[in-house]
Amino acid sequence: MRVCRSVVRRREALTRVMIGLLAIASGLASAAFVVWGLLMVLAEDAPALVIAVGVATMAYGALSAGILAAAWRRPWLPAKRLATGLAVSIVVIWLVSSLDYGSLSPLEGAGVMLIGVMLCVNWCAIQVAAGPRLTPHSSGPA
């Protein structure tokens, strides 16, 4: 019985560490989206499409950070739907803006894949934060 409780405590501690690392990674990804968008907006002689994508990127970074903060304070079910909608919309915006001449270059394809990984980190963090909390007497989400 004592060994079982020890294993459960270690698993809960590891889960909390992983959730904390996920939150830090999500915060860094949100900050990267804001900075990336700001660099696009402030670029000299940037076309209107680049400025529009930059504004959308900054908005996504700020909104995802806000949704994550709200979900961490207390479980918030609309956060899951908002996170999914924001992630899908920013992927569509980036894909449409990358298809300037009908095809993606390898560098643009790598950029879109990097954006996908960052979006996945943000989405997963919001899903975890908006879900049920671990209590001292439970071994996981119900």
- pTM for the predicted model, two decimal places: 0.75
**What's the pLDDT tens digit per position in 26-81?**
889 999 999 989 998 998 888 888 888 899 999 999 998 888 888 878 777 788 88
> Which pLDDT band holds residue 142 (cuts at 50, 70, 90)?
very low
pLDDT at position 106 is 78
- More confidently predicted of 133 and 95: 95
Closest CA to 37 of 10, 60, 8: 60
If you count them, how many residues does the chain have? 142
Please say whether the dihedral angle defined by the alpha carbons of residues 85, 98, 53 and 40, taken in this order, is positive or negative: positive
